[in-house]
A = this chain, B = another copy of it.
């Protein structure tokens, strides 16, 4: 893909914060020695070792974008990863996608059985909203709306409904599903992070461009992911390639082909970059004390958008 991440700033940010994010996850989770041990083992199994921890990194970035020190957002960052992981554990269950492989390993229910995997998912979701409370009740509402029946869960229901039913396929439909199933949580990551900055309620002038940034970014990531499903190897993906195709999943490349999908992802990344500039300008007006750091923050937000469509590094 083109639009190569020009600065590598986001990957450097991820490397810098990865140890703190892993520690925040260990702090949020009960230890495997706590009763019931096997439940906590299953939760740890699902969470460690993790993937790229994209959502926690977006929480930290959202905090920085709102003029806060990312350290304040670490517990909320861990919360977003718990929420994402719960959704994977439940999606993999036999009554859902019935997947055997996740992040290159046996799925949670293959190791711990269906009942324990279901309950480990429930516990991770519960823990996620507890962790989000560290950023205030506004962050809880933001995350719950993104994750619930009008957000991620709703998107999952629609995704299952259209699976293998080509009569229901349209680009409008695929976009609705993406926006709900994955986009809502990407957007919530950025906004939960902004809440964690601890500067009180976000002014509409800050909330709106940050939200638009998250939405465009989420779309770019999802389309690029769907393209990777067609072109990547099992090792690169950590799951079986062509899994979406096998399930008859509704994806951008399935609707309009690889080339047009990649072009759309690039357009969305460009739009996200413009929203990032608007967001940091609004934060500069809201919190003048944050100005010295905002040039670097804007470049970082924009680099994430480039990274979304170019994962070469």
Contact = CB atoms under 8 A, between A and B. Distances in A.
A105 to B, nearest CB: 21
Interface stretch (A18-26, A35-43, A214-222): A35-43
**Interface SS of A by simple majority:** helix
Interface stretch (A62-70, A140-148, A298-306): A140-148
Residue among A113, A150, A158 with the highest chain B CB neighbour number at 10 A: A150
Contact of A126 (B30, B125, B136): B125
Given A96-B115, A147-B126, A157 B38 contact: yes
Number of copies of this kind of chain in the complex: 2
Given A35-B154, A137-B137, A148-B130, A118 B118 contact: yes
Contact of A116 (B40, B122, B157): B157
A59 B69 CA distance: 37
Contacts of A95: 113-115, 118
B116 A90 contact: no
A196 to B, nearest CB: 12
Interface in A110-161: 113-116, 118-123, 125-127, 129-130, 132-134, 136-138, 140-141, 144-145, 147-150, 153-154, 156-158, 160-161
A155 B120 CA distance: 12
Interface in A238-264: none
Interface residues of A, number: 49
A41 B161 CA distance: 15
Given A30-B149, A137-B136, A157-B116, A122 B35 contact: no
10 closest A-B pairs by CB: A130-B144, A95-B114, A123-B149, A129-B129, A126-B148, A133-B137, A133-B140, A36-B157, A137-B137, A123-B153
